[in-house]
Structures are given as C-alpha cells and as structure tokens.
Amino acid sequence: MNEQDQNNKDRQDDQLLNKINSGEVKMRPRVYFVLRAALAVVGTIFLLAVSIFLISFLIFVVKGRGSGLNLHIFVSVFPWILLGAAVLIVLALSWILYNYSLAYRNPLIYVPLAVIALIILISVAMQLISFHERFERFSVRRRVPVFEMFYRKHAREMMPDMDGTPGRPDLNFFYRRSGLPF
Amino acid sequence: MNAGAPLATSESDESIAEKIQRGQHQYFGEILIRYEAKIKRYARRFLTDPKDAEDAAQEAFIKAYRNIQSFDTSRKFSSWLYRIAHNECINFLRKRKTESLPLFDLDVLFPHLAREEHLDDMNVRQTKEEIELALSRLDPKYREPLILYYLEGFDYREIADILHIPVATVGVRLARGRKILKNFYEQLTGIK
C-alpha cells in the first residue's frame, strides 16, 4: 500500500469512527434484539399450535366422520382450505426456523420434514386423548368464540346428507340449543 | 487510524465485540484495523466493481456496529461479520442486476453428502491461481464458497454459517466450482 492509499484508508476509517462518536451511526439496543427473538419464539409457538390444531382436526374429521363416505363425496366435502392453510403454516414455520444454525446447516428438506413429523406426532397423541371430541363439545356448550363456529361449519360440511345436522348425534342437543339453523 | 486508536491488539475478536456491546465504542477502531482490508478484498472479489465493493464494505461495517448487540460472543466474530458483508454484496448484486441470483437451489434442498476435502499445498496454490484468473467468469453461487475457502481460509462449517446453506452444499459447490474453474483455466492457458 502506498502513502496515498494509506491516507485514503485512514480517512475512511476516521469518517466511520467519527460518525459513531458523533452519534450519527447508533447501536441498536440489546432489548431490540431480545424483543425480536421473543417475537420469533412466540410466532413459532403460535404457528405450531395452529398447524397442530388444524392437522389434528383433519385427522379427527377424516377418521370420525369421513370414513363412511365414498371417495367422491369425501373429496367434495373435505376441508381442503384447512389443509392448504396447514401447508402454508408449515412453510412459514420452516422459513422462520431456517434462520437458526441447526436448520440451515442441514439440507433444506429436513426442516419441513421435521416440522411435519412433529405436527403429526402431536396430532396423533391428541387423537388418542380424544381432544377434539372434548373440545368440540366444550366449544359448542360454552359458545367459545371462533371455535364454536369452526366446529359447526366443518361438522356441517363433512356431513351434508344429514339435513344440516352435524354427524355427531351426541352433539345435536348442543347445536339445537345454540339456536343456529342446524 | 487516528480516532479510536488501537487498544487491544492481543485480545480476541469476541472479547473486543463484548467490550463494544458494553458501550466502549472506541474498540470498534480495532475491529476496523483487523477486518477492513479483509472485508474490502472479499467484496472486491465478489462484486468485481471496485466502487460497489468499497460501498458494500463500508455499509457492512456500519451494519455490524448497529447490530453488534445481536452478536453472540460464544460464536465466531469473523463468521458473523462476513455474513453481514455477504448480505451487503448480495444487495449490491440485486441492485445492479448484472448477475442472476436464484432464490432457490436444488443443491440446498438435497445436497449430496460431501466430505471436507484436504488438498495438498500444491493443489491449493494452483486452485488459488485459477480463482484469481477466472473469478469474474464464475457464477456467484460457486464464486463465493471458493473465495471463502481458498482465499479467506474459512472451513466448511464457517462457510455454511456465512452463507446460511447446509454444510454438505458447501462441499458440493466447492467441488463444482473447482471443476468449472479448471475448465476456464485450461481454456485460458491451454495447460491441461
């Protein structure tokens, strides 16, 4: 490096350090990164919970209500939108997790596969403890916002041949009591 | 360097970063002394346009200072800084649109298992020569791992951390990059 190059370099270094010393270039506070990391964790847990709820619900309706339907009706009444939403959430989760070294150091395909495996495992466990049967009953009885309508809508869609009543006779009482038209 | 004179020449990068995090801004001068030339050289090799390289390096240091509180001092500082520089270079390439940058590559999704290769000194020297000769003719996705491995001295794992790609993909890109380089080199020199 000749003298002129060295001088230019020093000038640039000084410019940057002067900007730092004068406060023109400011350091972001640690709390900013802590909040960002916390938001990522909360977002991940939320998306994971939603995807587990959707997939376990799909298993629930397919196993409990769709098994007696022929393929044509099954395909027409299956809540494809929920499945699509679950797939999008898995992709979003994979995208978030891909920022962490454990995820990006391994082949990209491992992340969605691991997420799907985790979701299916927990969904099957939820099926074993009859989570949706209990929660559906609870939501309809207590009129839990969002969930009551969710179960009602999809129960009706999966059993269109029952005059609009849901496929679970034990729940008819609760549906009737709610005063809604099925 | 005048302002922020060198203060801690024997300390590790990570402990200097920790001091900056604690508010001792003057230590950033030491980071500049240690890395400015390296980051500029890396940016020059990656971007080819010297003006862009200069700006990218400058922006990388500004971002490093701004975001230094996000640096985990239990990890390697150089990989963190090169990651920032890599992002800046990519931003410049996107702005210029002179080279295609695929959003997604199959070799990231399904990389073959590639073991870290250890070439002998002569092969390393020859590869370095080939890189210097034919660098601008290489696709950025092969150019960057080659620069980081042969010219900057990072290992596979560190390159994976800088580029955010699987370790196996680093091996795949290095192997393919070397092959492409060899072809260029043979075309240029006529030596087989």
Q: What share of chain B is helix, strand, coil (3-state, %, to 5)?
A: 70, 0, 30
Say if CB A131 and CB A151 are below 8 A apart. Answer: no
Q: Mind listing the pLDDT tens digit for each residue in A41-93? A: 999 999 999 999 999 988 888 876 656 667 777 777 788 899 999 999 999 99
ipTM reported for the complex surpasses 0.90 = no
| Number of C-beta neighbours around residue A143 at 10 A | 12
Q: For residue A180, give the DSSP letter.
A: S
Q: What share of chain A is helix, strand, coil (3-state, %, to 5)?
A: 75, 0, 25
Residue A157: its pLDDT value, please?
A: 63
Choose, out of B169, B170, B173, the residue to mutate when testing the contact with A (most A CBs < 10 Å).
B169
Instruction: Please name the residues in contact with B128: beta carbons below 8 A apart, sequence gap of 6 or more.
Output: B150, B151
| Number of C-beta neighbours around residue B18 at 10 A | 17
Contact B65 A107 (CB under 8 A): no
Say if CB A175 and CB A140 are below 8 A apart. Answer: yes
Contact B165 A104 (CB under 8 A): yes
Residues of chain A contacting B69 with CB distance shorter than 8 Å? 27-30, 32-33
Let me know how long chain A is.
182
Residue A74: its pLDDT value, please?
A: 75
Say if CB B164 and CB A104 are below 8 A apart. Answer: yes
**H-type helices in B22-104, by residue range?**
28-47, 50-66, 77-96
The residue ranking higher by pLDDT, A39 or B190, is A39
Q: What are phi and psi of B164, to 5 degrees?
A: 55, 50
Contact B4 A9 (CB under 8 A): no
Q: Mind listing the pLDDT tens digit for each residue in A125-154? A: 998 998 998 898 888 888 888 888 888 877
DSSP string for A12-27 = HHHHHHHHHHHTSS-P
Tokens found for residue B50:
């010297």
Instruction: Please name the residues in contact with B15: beta carbons below 8 A apart, sequence gap of 6 or more.
Output: B8, B73
Q: What are phi and psi of A126, to 5 degrees?
A: -65, -35
Residues of chain A contacting B79 with CB distance shorter than 8 Å? none
Contact A33 B167 (CB under 8 A): no
Q: Which regions of chain B are under pLDDT 70?
A: 1-9, 98-124, 126, 128-129, 132-133, 189-192
